[in-house]
Structure 1
């Protein structure tokens, strides 16, 4: 099976930068595409800061840090991804935006065997595959935050995904990125979020109804159930806006009340209290 040496990553936010970092540390040539020069510069800083943290914590040597940085390059033009063998779209969880990106990548990436992967938490993979001329080479790859730390990738083949694409993506995740994989059906939430989101929303409802304070909910699950992080701290880490989007996608597909975003979650997102990335969520940072 052909080894992937040239990876494209579209988007350099929390997820995209994490994917790019892991790939560069694994020895891949990584080209990151962002929407603007300022976004690309912010992405470069995010990656550099993360690698520097790894150096300070003894996770990598100075030489390894420098080698990873040398393998990373940035562009503001999706056309520059033309020579990539594998491209992972990691833009915001917005259907219209992801659709546009996949359509553009389909036109610009010229390798006829290139795989186009989407890192989505909840959107149907078949919808994104259908807007391309190569739906058999489109697959979902759901990474987990923080990507350099979390070992799992969910692989989600659509009804249109070729078996060869699934095999190549599985091999790339394992050998190219050093990740472990599970396979999920193309249904909203896949495996992990279908189980996780109702639990997180239940924690929000407990706070909303005054049943318990955020710190008591979190300590209860950390100390009583041996969870490494309580649900509300986890929501702050994920981003409340991202959690709301995933919940809305789940509710749209299944119409189950347990997937409906609580009013408190909607109000916090509207107020800009998105968690760690905004400096305030259920806790202040």
Structure 2
């Protein structure tokens, strides 16, 4: 979680019309203050390599009456084109007018209509090539412009008049940055080596004063049989129960401090499970939120 787009030290690719498939993964087991990442409306803002920055709008309604007086019920967390047009024209592009140097402003779009037109043309080309996702329109934004740009964006989210959305629909936006599927990319022989490599990347990539460290989570995996081929592990239920109990008992509180989800295999009691540490678990306060025992190790 970040407090400002200035958190990025390098230029980003700004996403003007993200594909619907680009969203924070729905099976999250952590929460961020001010945003419910499984319920609130969201939008992909920008990308830095494998890192994606999403913005969440906690006041954005899921149901509203559109300009033709039809009640619209959102079918996903993504902003629909009506909300996207308001965001783009009244907030984003207006902010860019103030921040992007005049000599470079022509490289960026001037309206949502222009963005939609270019996206539709690219989508038709991709469709001919067998790809069915909506085509995004991405343009680089320099790192030194991100902080001022976010300030201008926040200034314009205070109130949006003359729309079918509430005037506070874009207020209090929450920035969430994620990176998926990095286990194989960052694979190291020891945890110390993983930590060292990660900290080097951390220091080179982020301006740490804009990170909310108590809401910065890392997904770590431990490969027990690295020299073997793909191995299927079917643990018996009492083994899984013992493993889960270790996480529970270490919570040092009365009553259960964990939430378990079981994944039995082929109708048997063998399989795997996930363990989510509740807020009453002392290890949760120490930074451990979620554990999973995988059935298959590659």
The TM-score, its normalising length taken from structure 1, stands at 0.23
The TM-score, its normalising length taken from structure 2, stands at 0.23
Higher-Rg member (1/2): 2
Structure number having the greater helix percentage: 1
Structure number having the greater strand percentage: 2
